[in-house]
Structure 1
Amino acid sequence: MKEYKPPYSITEDMLNLVSSISEKMGKIDVYHNLDAKPHLRRNNRIKSIHSSLKIEANSLSIGEVKDVIDGRIVFGAKREIQEVKNAYEAYNMIRKLDPFSLKDLKRIHGIMEKFLEEKAGEFRHGEEGVFNGDECIFVAPPPHLVPGLMTDLFSWMKKNKKKVHPLIMSAVFHYEFVFIHPFSDGNGRTARLWHTAILAQWNSLFEYIPIESQIEKFQSEYYKVIAECHVNGQSNLFIEFMLKQINIILDEIIIQIRKPDDILSEYTKKLLDVMDFGVPYSTIALMKLLGIKSRETFRKNYLDPALKLEMVIRTIPDKPNSKNQRYIKK
């Protein structure tokens, strides 16, 4: 019987992107700042969870996701709140996973779908398709083929984990998993987490790099590329797409960890310390967090310098004095 091999080929663009990503990871390793910043790691984890769930139509804001994780009361759909709790538990297990174990994959899916799906962690028994909103991208293979396809995929990964670069293998897995669509629900969330798990085994810093937030920015293209790969019969376009997104998100990570403290005043540092990444704050909310009563003092000493350094941005940049203005830590 012919040995299974996912249909893809290495292109010059892939090699260039792998080289660029490896170089950027080297820079992050040199700084070691990500390891020394638990607040940054936690916020990036929250961004990963929020974005991955948002791709699947979860309507909770990043602030609400953070509140759910922190154990605060959130008024939202019960299912969406449970999705956040499940995803947080699953992402916290990344270091304990064997990304080449089909058993571990089923276990993670069981956590992702806990209290949501009756047969969580079990392969589907019905027909399924991949959807972008209401649009069907393609119909997945029939259910009786799923166990064999998943076994073949993991066998290939195990056999080639020292031959195929993790950046390539993780993208190949991601596409093949989405194509097989092995579960009745939660396939996209599980695919994105497992992509991270494969990369985290290569370099542990990937555990806290929110690739999902970059995918969410280009969600339409994400589904379009998946559909094109299905038509082409190979995953080259998807691999290149994912490598590009990782290459871009690493630029943001480098900016996050390279901000030199010597250019920051004590006021700016205090402001940044009370802000979570990606969460919009009103002026009043920030003043309350800082314990400041004077709006003028807040703007002059805290907010304006942070805006000037582009470490904080406005949600409505063309209307700086809008009553609906909010500020986000970049």
Structure 2
Amino acid sequence: MSQNKQDIPSSYILPDSAELTTSLAENDRLQKIIDKKRPLEGDLWDVIQFKLKVDWTYNSNAIEGSTLSPSETLFFLREGLTVKGKPLKDFLDARNHSEAVDLLQDTIKDERPLSVGFMKEINALILNGVSYTAAQTPDGQSTKKKAHAGEYKKHPNHVLTPSGEIHTYVEPEQVAAEMDYLFEWIGEQEQKQTHPLITAAIAHYNFVRIHPFDDGNGRGARLLMNLILMKNGYLPAVINNENRQDYIECLHQADKGEMELFCVFVSHSLRETQESVVNILEGNGK
């Protein structure tokens, strides 16, 4: 997929700025600190990994509307017990996301290549047990539609933006070609040794831009992003629910061609994850 820059779609052009370069350097510095402290004695690293999975599961699902709190998510994933008064689907989403993170870990250990087929598996896992998904009518009204887990969408999907406009994603008949291009592009960036965070952030954005499935696209995009980071030795960039508004705004700006803002946002999210782990490791050392 070798192309001249003028032939590359605008959503795939690599951003370059002093702010982004500085932010990436800080990610690399923090990752080196973490790597130097490993291997750890006892089961501390396993505990850290579980904490990251819980944080990632809570925040990614909360962004999509889950009502579980961080402590309820932890209790459910650790004990397997639900909490009264919360929708069953929220626990189903927590279980599915947790299992998807486990699948990512196995994929990295097995050195399985990224592919559109793998993302279909991820979507099938995210929507496991989900019969219907939330949707919007053309005039922005809430409705439901039958879920087709692991299958590309058969009908157009759209969302009401913060500005009040209805944004339509890639048409169903274009999804297969767009997804093939996305994963060819990811492979090419790996060969070029593009910084993994830039590859991960742009892959995330384009996955959301395509919106290939009926549901689970946001969670799938964050799983894809973090799989790219984790394959390259980084921690996952956990996007916190409290930053949801900034997250959506950066994605909206990327729709206008401002990809740098989203890359910096992802870099800052990774830094928050890294700093939390460094604090645990340094506290343990003391």
TM-score bin (small chain):
0.7 to 0.9
Aligned to 1:236: 260
Mark the CA change 1:130 to 1:201 in structure 2 (over 3 Å): closer, same or farther.
farther
SS of corresponding position for 1:92: helix
Alignment of 1:173-252 (within 5 A): 173-203=203-233, 206=235, 209=236, 211-212=237-238, 214-231=239-256, 233-252=257-276
Give the number of aligned pairs.
256
TM-score normalised per structure 2: 0.82
Alignment-mate amino acid for residue 254 of structure 2: C
Distance 1:107 1:133, change over 3 A: farther
How far is the alpha carbon of 1:127 from its aligned partner?
A: 1.5
Query: Which residue is 1:28 aligned to?
Result: 34
For 1:138, what is the secondary structure of its paired residue?
Answer: strand
Residues 132 and 223, structure 1, Cα contact 8 Å, conserved in 2: no
Contact 2:82 2:91 in 1 (8 A): no
Q: Which residue of 2 aligns with 1:300?
A: none
Cα pair 1:124 1:143 within 8 Å, conserved: yes
Partner of 1:170: 200
Shift of 1:40: 2.5
The Cα offsets for residues 61-110 of structure 1, whole Å up to 9 and x where unpaired, read as 12222232221132221211111111111111112334621111110111
Secondary structure at the counterpart of residue 16 of structure 2: coil
| Counterpart amino acid of residue 151 in structure 1 | D
Aligned partner (choices 69, 80, 83) of residue 93 of structure 2: 83
Q: Which of 150, 154, 162 is matched with 2:183 structurally?
A: 154
Superposition pairs for residues 240-279 of structure 1, below 5 Å? 240-260=264-284, 262=286
Shift in Å, 1:41? 2.0
43 and 137 in structure 1: CA distance in 2 versus 1, 3 angstrom threshold: farther
| C-alpha distance in 1 between matches for 2:166 and 2:191 | 33
Query: Where do 5+ consecutive residues of structure 2 fail to align?
Result: 132-146
Deviations 1:267-305 (A, max 9, x none): xxxxxxxxxxxxxxxxxxxxxxxxxxxxxxxxxxxxxxx
2:53 corresponds in structure 1 to 45
CA distance in 2, matches of 1:58, 1:120: 19
Counterpart Cα distance in 1 of 2:181 and 2:285: 50
Equivalent in the alignment of 1:143: 172
Q: How far 1:11 sits from its partner (Å)?
A: 2.0
Corresponding residue SS for 1:68: helix
Q: Which residue of 2 aligns with 1:111?
A: 125
Residue matched to 1:120? 149
| Distance verdict in 2 for CA 1:131–1:216, change over 3 Å | farther
Aligned-partner SS, 1:9? coil
- CA separation of 1:130/1:244 partners in 2, compared to 1, >3 Å: closer, same or farther? farther
Residue identity in the other structure for 1:85: R
CA RMSD, 1 decimal:
2.4
Shift of 1:9: 2.5
* Residues 1:255 and 1:245: Cα distance change in structure 2 (over 3 Å): same
Aligned AA (1:194)? L
- Who is 2:135 aligned against? none
Residue 19 of structure 2 corresponds to 13
Give the share of equivalent positions with the same residue, in percent. 23
Go from structure 1 to structure 2 and tell me whether the alpha carbon gap of 1:17 and 1:122 turns closer, same or farther (over 3 Å shift): same
- Relative distance call for 1:32 and 1:110 in structure 2 (3 A) is same
Report the counterpart of residue 59 of structure 1 in structure 2. Answer: 67
| Structure with greater Cα Rg | 1
1:23-56 deviation digits (Å, cap 9, x = unpaired): 1100001112668512222122111100100000
The answer (yes or no) to whether the contact 1:7–1:234 under 8 Å persists in 2 is: no
Q: Is the 8 A contact 1:33 1:257 kept in 2?
A: no
Q: 1:129 aligns with which of 133, 150, 158?
A: 158
* 2:191 aligned counterpart, secondary structure: coil
DSSP-derived class of the 1:259 partner: helix
> TM-score w.r.t. structure 1 length?
0.71
